[in-house]
Structure 1
């Protein structure tokens, strides 16, 4: 099998690594992920508050990782505020972001968000910079020019698997590029930047469905999976409008209404002048998620003030796609960076999978948010009764940086 199939990183490096590849469950029978999102490095480098925000964001990463011991770190979009970046040094912030991961010899995998696609920031160049490090597992598996960049999957094997070609994965991790932002170094006839579509492209949907079917055929079984995409699908907005219960879906719910894929675009897929609220272009992606066998949960960022999970198991108002009867959990993480808007306490969502359960095909995960100051909020069991079970509400604690600026982009 090829390296791309196994989810292995390129061999070139600028940093030594003892990362054990491929990804495997650890010896205690669990696999844990730490999801950092909306870090927004690189805002206003010419002012004192911009670099200070980046220093504080590194402290968040270190603080969380001092408390948690993940097997994989996910950087789930808006790593860099590319609309503030200079063409010559737009990728330099990657080294600041991954420094704490390299210090701990942790592997990571990224999705890119709307602020990682900008006039002065090429997502393909960002990927090439990430791949200079052997700890980076970020890939590009879909080559369609409209697909974006970070569309790929990673298999996770049992702890005792030493030869992946002879093992069946216990878990699959799917990563999707929801794009958005602006086209790299491209202007229209009037000299203005050109907006990039903000949904998962149909070429990626086709790849996802075909690849998932091939994997079922190869292994003669459905493998449980998790998915990551920066901009949430419209289904999350439909649920928010129906009502988020602070005890059934604990978390902050301060971004109302939230900003889904295809927001601001018209159904023609061309017009994004603000004349349309929502164009519906993410319907194929939602359909693929709703029919994906074995999918446990989808994790998004983008809306800094939303941190709840919910079970999509029905048809919601103003939607044409129903969630599967067994349910797919759609979750937000926690705003991790001091860049970007909002004063909510920074942190990172944690997700833990038990080998014994996924080995039996049980589609469950445990999840919680680790905050910068050490606390834990929003702990939930994403299981058959999630959405019915009662949990303690999240208090939505705040943190402030007197020298930082919170009016940055979302």
Structure 2
């Protein structure tokens, strides 16, 4: 079995979008050139100004927006996802976990800063029985998971020392079992306190 992690850059922007004075293209280049344990890579140029759409295939052990740009997953990105998922997992037998940064409007609850518009990605995902969960960030103080139609919507938790806010740091942990397939998740805080255990896929 192979598990596909489909990663979409939902912060559209490149040259005009920067972090502490460093443009996103430079950040991506540095990440790719200098981070030996990073799997980041540049995405298709036709999805410009988005810079980091890619697919990471994870094999089992026995298987040889931001800035001045719109904060949305564009129709071009949704089309890219549809083509890649049909190419890689045409019979939808392989479970898929989806990661992007800014939550879609499906996450719209109190305190959620969602994308500006919904341009088709959620419709695609909810129709794919192989999609088990979507993970987002952006709202640093949130770390909940909740079921939505046939999949789960989850926040990742404020993890690092950068960015805004002074929330306690933690991380969303995923435990994936191959046979039988299951995904369990919980939050582990920096002080090792564990909370919010949930089974995302039995």
Smaller-chain TM-score bracket? 0.7 to 0.9
Are 2:98 and 1:227 equivalent residues in the alignment? yes
Of residues 31, 34, 59 in structure 2, which corresponds to 1:157? Answer: 59
Cα 1:373–1:144 shift into 2, 3 Å: same
- 3-state SS, counterpart of residue 298 of structure 1: strand
CA contact (8 A) 2:141 2:158 kept: yes
Q: Which has the larger radius of gyration?
A: 1
More deviation, 286-295/114-123:
114-123
Please give the alpha-carbon distance, in whole angstroms, between the structure 2 residues aligned to 1:201 and 1:283.
6
Are 2:160 and 1:342 equivalent residues in the alignment? no
Please give the alpha-carbon distance, in whole angstroms, between the structure 2 residues aligned to 1:197 and 1:258.
17
RMSD, aligned CA: 2.8
The structure whose RCO (Cα within 8 Å, separation 6+) is larger is 1
Unaligned stretches of 5+ in structure 1? 1-23, 26-30, 32-73, 75-108, 163-178, 182-194, 241-255, 263-279, 314-326, 359-363, 385-410
For residues 104-123 of structure 1, the aligned pairs below 5 Å read 113=11, 117-118=17-18, 120-123=21-24
Cα 1:297–1:131 shift into 2, 3 Å: same
Q: What is the Cα deviation at residue 214 of structure 1?
A: 1.3
Please give the alpha-carbon distance, in whole angstroms, between the structure 2 residues aligned to 1:205 and 1:135.
28
Number of aligned pairs? 196
What residue number does 2:86 align with? Answer: 213
Please give the alpha-carbon distance, in whole angstroms, between the structure 1 residues aligned to 2:92 and 2:112.
36
When the two structures are superposed, what TM-score results if normalisation uses the length of structure 1?
Answer: 0.44
What residue number does 2:179 align with? Answer: 356
For residues 255-270 of structure 1, the aligned pairs below 5 Å read 256-262=110-116
When the two structures are superposed, what TM-score results if normalisation uses the length of structure 2?
Answer: 0.84
Of residues 190, 196, 199 in structure 2, which corresponds to 1:381? Answer: 199
Cα 1:336–1:118 shift into 2, 3 Å: same
Of residues 145, 152, 168 in structure 2, which corresponds to 1:329? Answer: 152
For residues 22-171 of structure 1, the aligned pairs below 5 Å read 113=11, 117-118=17-18, 120-132=21-33, 133-162=35-64
Q: What is the Cα deviation at residue 202 of structure 1?
A: 1.4
- 3-state SS, counterpart of residue 63 of structure 2: coil
Please give the alpha-carbon distance, in whole angstroms, between the structure 2 residues aligned to 1:285 and 1:147.
18
Unaligned stretches of 5+ in structure 2? none
CA contact (8 A) 1:147 1:200 kept: no
- 3-state SS, counterpart of residue 212 of structure 1: helix
Please give the alpha-carbon distance, in whole angstroms, between the structure 2 residues aligned to 1:123 and 1:309.
29
For residues 276-355 of structure 1, the aligned pairs below 5 Å read 280=117, 282-313=118-149, 327-355=150-178
Are 2:66 and 1:180 equivalent residues in the alignment? yes
1:252-286: CA deviation from partner (whole Å, max 9, x where unpaired): xxxx3310011xxxxxxxxxxxxxxxxx3x23122
Please give the alpha-carbon distance, in whole angstroms, between the structure 2 residues aligned to 1:199 and 1:158.
32
